[in-house]
Amino acid sequence: MAVTIADKTITLTAQGDSVDESISILSIHWIGATTTGHLLEISQSSALVGSPGVIYSDHAAGANYVSRSYIDAFYPNGIEITDLDSGVVQIVVGRGRSV
């Protein structure tokens, strides 16, 4: 697991990687999925009773799959990669997280 932060971008490389503080996400980039059908799923962390909800999900359409989604949303308890079969995830942050 590795989480790196550089120039308003957080890079997450493995299932279980997380941001454990409030975060404002402008966009999510999934880079380098290796196989058709591989899954990326990101859930919001929850300090409240109940399970965290999925905020983003994508399936690779082929090898070397790359996707970019603009979501512009705020998650007060952070986020976690709940499924990442291959590739890396880059999250571009906004006003709720200073990197």
Reported as type and span, the H/E element at residue 27 is strand 23-33
| Percent above pLDDT 70 for the chain | 82
Helix/strand/coil for 81: strand
Domain boundaries, the chain: 3-93
Binned at pLDDT 50, 70 and 90, residue 77 comes out as confident
Return d(Cα 9, Cα 84) in angstroms, integer: 18
Considering the domain 3-93 in this protein, what is its CATH number?
A: 2.60.120
State the pLDDT at residue 50: 54
CA-wise closest residue to 5 among 66, 35, 20: 20
Reported as type and span, the H/E element at residue 54 is strand 54-59
Q: Has residue 99 got a pLDDT over 50?
A: no
The pTM assigned to this predicted structure is: 0.84
Query: What is the DSSP code (8-state) at residue 64?
Result: T
Name the phi and psi angles at 7, rounded to 5: 50, 55
pLDDT in tens, 7-49: 789 999 999 999 988 899 999 999 999 999 999 999 998 655 4
The residue assigned the tokens 């999934």 is 30
Q: Has residue 98 got a pLDDT over 50?
A: no
